[in-house]
Structure 1
């Protein structure tokens, strides 16, 4: 028996309605292609990868993650962490493909394959294979066991039940609710020796992607879960459902409610970023045109607006330029105080210059705090 889907209360339905309104709005805005879409999608995926891996203690900057995604060497991240990032990026890329696949069905082979993509570099952890024995989750600070997974001999049957439910169970429930329950059941089954948390968050994103809510990078809550106090709230929510052992009789509404709140908060943030992207791009186009620069330079300027740095290789690939063209553009932008260069040779990157810093500060001053939907609903 796996954890059962709860019945939503009026407050939950109200929050769910607001989430769906925001997602429909996002889907409408994304239907029309824009020059900034590719960079925005890449950054959202990088932030999702950062969030999910930081929960497990693998920390890297968004800029380094974007470099890894583009096949470049990160400037600050260790090789060990870079391997975790690359594995997770590979799995999320497959999740995105699966979200758009015409022919699709959940099965255990898919789940094992995703786990192998994530942690295949850890040969000692039998990636993609059901754990051979018991598993214990410990508090990293105290060493205390905070969760004991089900017996290893029960795991194949529980995975069978989960896969059956993914394909045919509770299909009338909202996708956000089904995705939350998929996440909960997989993380509580804890079927592998490593990667269980990341796998469960990726499965949640896949369930939403298959429902065509929006593309995975726009519907993921991994960024939100990986931030500060929210990570502790996430662990608390998981622990409160079933305490310290496998017990699929617990009340699951608090967990679903936690996920709905996370979706609402992240949707507010993504919608704001999407609106900001259009405004910033238009502003930068005006500036580039005014100064007689090539319009492709907007791509470089937008990158340093949304990020802390830009590397020549990234800009070169983004605009399909030669190395010389990209280098000349960036030198020109630095000469005009749009960018500030740092480092040499392969370690060279460009940070926002004084003029870009002023634009960033102006937009930052306008940002309003996100609204907690349950406080409003209450």
Structure 2
């Protein structure tokens, strides 16, 4: 098994410690998410938007979390270009399907599924034969220098390699920790580089699917795509992919540095998600008190929460979150603006709200309380 693929490394003591801590955080999150809270839906949507943002920004497609949430809701983004919006919508469609597959009672990995996910992501680039295995060689170039940094395996090997990867996903090393299997699925797929485009995003999405199939947490809570999309981490990600993968397809088992990089990312992202979950509860309670004191309807908390965690809020989002009529939503937002919670910008269709002076003061207060994340390998 695995003779043609990059092999799964043996973990060392520090890795096992980090893995145990990730498991503890994951169980804790699962326990905390078992209770339903008013802010859960908004938090999940934020996390999904951030994962989409991270994975796409690595490829140079940049959009704000607010625009991504608009695209997720089928609305026009305020700033993102039409090209970027297509990339975001394609990726969101694939991730939504991955979320459904994570919960499916009948499931097997197969090459057709991987091709279909690739088509969902980049189907709007018909010239790149989306969802179809590449017919020739492929070279990954450094966007800055134009130098070839990686050469994928010959086209005639790709079918066999994908078959082997799928067999391994279904039956290979099932006793290995799912974080390790997900990391190796990501690594092997990105190194096989089977399509003409979308290989990086596909590999990150496959990692999310492997974790989702483990059903410990939903994909939004287990993805490291947001973490990978941060500039400093993106550089490290490319460095470790290059160092472990070498310059051309050369399967070997010396992949511990890659798995370590992924375990660290999971640990840091889990710390961050846990902080966000705690903060969400605190912010919501605080806003409830304020809304109550102002004699506003309790439902307004959801608009204020959105304005707190996002840079801006649109009426349509609040309207659908609270199941209101257009008039009710507009009236609530007008009241919130009159009381200094929100500040309106733009006209009619392009109108949106940002934090007003009272909200800005609350946000500033919270911004002071930064809890630094702990690098689990630097104990």
- Match among 102, 105, 115 for residue 102 of structure 1: 105
Residues 133-189 of structure 1, C-alpha deviations (whole Å, 9 max, x = no match): 000100001100000000001000000000000001110010000000000000000
1:267-346 map, 5 Å: 267-346=270-349
Q: Which residue of 2 aligns with 1:249?
A: 252
Alignment RMSD, CA only? 0.6
Q: Which residue of 2 aligns with 1:359?
A: 362
- Match among 126, 129, 144 for residue 126 of structure 1: 129
* Structure 1: 4+ residue segments shifted above 6 A: none
Distance 1:234 1:250 in 2: 19
Residues 276-327 of structure 1, C-alpha deviations (whole Å, 9 max, x = no match): 0011111111111121111110000000110000001111111111111000
Is residue 6 of structure 2 the alignment partner of residue 3 of structure 1?
yes
Tell me, yes or no, if the aligned pair for 1:96 and 1:216 is still in contact at 8 Å.
yes
Is residue 232 of structure 2 the alignment partner of residue 229 of structure 1?
yes
1:73-222 map, 5 Å: 73-222=76-225
Q: Which residue of 1 aligns with 2:55?
A: 52
SS at match of 1:374: coil
Deviation at 1:213, TM superposition (A): 2.3
How many residues were matched structurally?
A: 376
Tell me, yes or no, if the aligned pair for 1:39 and 1:303 is still in contact at 8 Å.
yes
1:367-378 map, 5 Å: 367-376=370-379
Gap runs ≥5 in structure 2? none
Distance 2:293 2:104 in 1: 44
Deviation at 1:250, TM superposition (A): 5.0
Distance 1:322 1:297 in 2: 14
Distance 2:100 2:244 in 1: 32
Distance 2:309 2:216 in 1: 25
Distance 1:368 1:321 in 2: 37
Tell me, yes or no, if the aligned pair for 2:8 and 2:253 is still in contact at 8 Å.
no
Tell me, yes or no, if the aligned pair for 1:42 and 1:66 is still in contact at 8 Å.
yes
Tell me, yes or no, if the aligned pair for 1:242 and 1:250 is still in contact at 8 Å.
no
Distance 1:251 1:76 in 2: 44
Tell me, yes or no, if the aligned pair for 2:128 and 2:197 is still in contact at 8 Å.
yes
* TM superposition score normalised by structure 2: 0.99
Is residue 36 of structure 2 the alignment partner of residue 33 of structure 1?
yes
Distance 2:216 2:181 in 1: 13
Gap runs ≥5 in structure 1? none
Tell me, yes or no, if the aligned pair for 2:342 and 2:353 is still in contact at 8 Å.
yes
SS at match of 1:292: coil
* TM superposition score normalised by structure 1: 0.99
Tell me, yes or no, if the aligned pair for 1:241 and 1:250 is still in contact at 8 Å.
no
Tell me, yes or no, if the aligned pair for 2:51 and 2:225 is still in contact at 8 Å.
yes
SS at match of 1:375: coil
Distance 2:218 2:365 in 1: 30
Distance 1:67 1:242 in 2: 37
Tell me, yes or no, if the aligned pair for 2:9 and 2:253 is still in contact at 8 Å.
no
